[in-house]
Amino acid sequence: MTSRELLAVAVVAVPALSALLIAAVPRRFVTPIALACALPTGGLALTLATLALRDDPSLAHGIAIDSAGGLLLGVTALVGLASVLVSPAYLGTMRGSLPSRPRREEAYFALLYTFWAVLLAVPLAGNLGVAWLLVEATTAVSALLVGFSGKARALEAGWKYLVLTSLGLGVALFGIVILAAGLPGGLGGLSWHTLPTYRSGSQTALVAYLLLLAGLAAKIGWAPVHNWLPDAHSEAPAPVSALLSAALLPSVLLVAWRSEHALAPVIGAHTAQTVLIGFGLVSLAVAVPFLWRSLAWKRLLAYSSLEHMGVIALGIGFATPLAIAGVAVHIAAHAVAKALGFYAATPLLGHEPRAAAHGVTGIGRTERRLGAAMALSLGTLAGLPPSPLFLSELLIVAGGFQAGRSWSAGIAIVLLGLAFVGLVHSLIETTAGKAHRRDSGLIPGLRSVGLLAAVSLVLLAALAGVALWLPGTHLADALVKGLS
């Protein structure tokens, strides 16, 4: 194995071993060890992500190391690191949980590190069958985390998530079996490099592709199979919600992206891309009415995830250099803004307990630091200029016109405009609306969220610069052409 492949193995092995270590040590050492293990895990993943973004793509020993995978590795590394670091503040606010109180931290961090390890493995899977197994593994672990609080609504959300996404992945597995039947080597021949050699006919390949994407859509959260997403994001612990939205959804979307790229020579690039554009437009259309409503904070962020996964699907479907550059910036900027929004939920609930189930107003008037963090998150997600998501959406829409898909790009402009109006209204009401009397005492996690807001501001400013620089570069070309 090459040094990069050994590094890829280490990227997955270190968090997996950390989970085992956390489960084995005495209770008083659990949190310090969990915090200490986050740095090497994040550091290794960021190192490999940098190498993947800088060098030519490679696929060997079943490990894919390409530009798109490097992007998702970097996103998952940063969000996972931040989620571990803010978890003690969240755990300090818990009144009950599925595990008993003495084993709460141990169970939580062991599950969180296991989830992080599998998430880091998904972008590295060089085989569609292995990628499916890893995505299924994320379902089992994250379902336990969604219901971790033990509340009735959380348990219901966890079961709903487990059942609906497992059904979807069952449909995807049917498509994979059809593909395997037409490939040399069967299930062992599902490498991203061998999928273009499918030999049972384009019509059969199209059926398999549709089954695969319809199944993965349930996990990505594309409409109309997104029903689990608002409940799971609302009820999961805030650090887990950040990983679900900022890392899991785009990582599964990467599997769909690689599948489209691999099967395009068999079923036709136009057809393969049209399916993605369809999912993107439907997801945007379904998200808009909810973004116009007054929703609880985490539920609002969940419907924003539906919108942004639709935008990314559009960019991949347009498939021009401009659109793919927009996709890369969009994935990264969405992760930063969405993670910050979910991290802000912990101090928000300490400041205003009603925020768990109801929309709140005037947070910026009663706690400025919290209001600023929420405003940065929601303003970026709305696409306020000059945020990187505003620029990435411009690139994606321009890419649509560049691809000759004027109708799709025009409809996307209308839907993005409607989503913008809804999110900006929520931004104004949530941060600067009518203020209510609130507890002005110690707010858990406020200091760490303030620090993360400052870091996020720097990252988002840098990503805005990247959005202006990226089109036409070697990296943009690698994202278009270099998927393993």
Q: Is residue 472 part of a domain?
A: yes
Count: domains in the chain:
1
The answer as to whether 401 is a domain residue is yes
Q: Which two tokens stand for residue 71?
A: 């992007």
Could you give the count of Cα atoms lying within 13 Å of 410 in the half-sphere of its Cβ? 4
Q: What is the mean pLDDT of the chain?
A: 91
Per-residue model confidence (pLDDT) at position 63: 87
Contacts of 166 (CB under 8 A, 6+ apart): 136, 139
354 - beta bridge partners?
Answer: none
Q: CB count, 10 Å around CB of 479? A: 23
CB atoms < 10 A from the CB of 388, how many? 27
* pLDDT at site 440: 63
Q: Tell me if 299 is assigned to some domain.
A: yes
Q: Supply the pLDDT for residue 330.
A: 97
Instruction: Report the b/e string of 409-441 with b at 16+ CB within 10 A.
Output: bebbeebbebbbebbbbbbebbbebeeeebeee
In this prediction, residue 477 carries a pLDDT of 77
In a domain, 125, yes or no: no
pTM reported for the whole predicted model:
0.95
| Spatial distance between the Cα atoms of 360 and 357, rounded to a whole number of angstroms | 9
Query: Per the domain annotation, does 178 fall within a domain?
Result: no
The answer to whether residue 216 is domain-embedded is: no
Q: How far apart are CA 291 and CA 94, in angstroms?
A: 29
User: Which candidate, 390, 413, 388, places its Cα nearest to that of 400?
Assistant: 413
pLDDT digits (tens, 9 = 90+) for 146-166: 999 888 899 999 999 999 999
Q: Is 293 in contact with 285 (CB distance < 8 Å)?
A: no
Per-residue pLDDT of the chain (484 residues), as tens digits, is 678 888 999 999 999 999 999 999 998 899 999 999 999 999 999 999 999 888 766 666 678 888 899 999 999 999 999 999 999 999 988 877 777 777 889 999 999 999 999 999 999 999 999 999 999 999 999 999 999 988 889 999 999 999 999 999 999 999 999 999 888 776 667 888 889 888 878 899 999 999 999 999 999 999 999 999 999 999 999 999 999 999 999 999 999 999 999 999 999 999 999 999 999 999 999 999 999 999 999 999 999 999 999 999 999 999 999 999 999 999 999 999 999 999 999 999 888 888 888 888 889 888 899 999 999 999 999 999 999 999 999 999 999 999 999 999 999 999 999 999 999 999 999 988 887 766 666 788 889 999 999 999 999 999 999 999 988 887 777 777 655 4
Contact (CB, 8 A) for 370 and 363: yes
Which pLDDT score is estimated for 56?
63
Percent of the chain with pLDDT over 70: 96
Q: Is residue 346 part of a domain?
A: yes
Report the Cα–Cα distance between both ends of the chain, in Å, rounded.
17
- Tell me which residue range forms the domain holding 443: 268-484
**Which among 437, 237, 439, 429 has a CA at the least distance from the CA of 351?**
439
- The number of C-alpha atoms within 13 Å of 275 and in the hemisphere containing its C-beta is 23
Q: Which two tokens stand for residue 133?
A: 């197994």
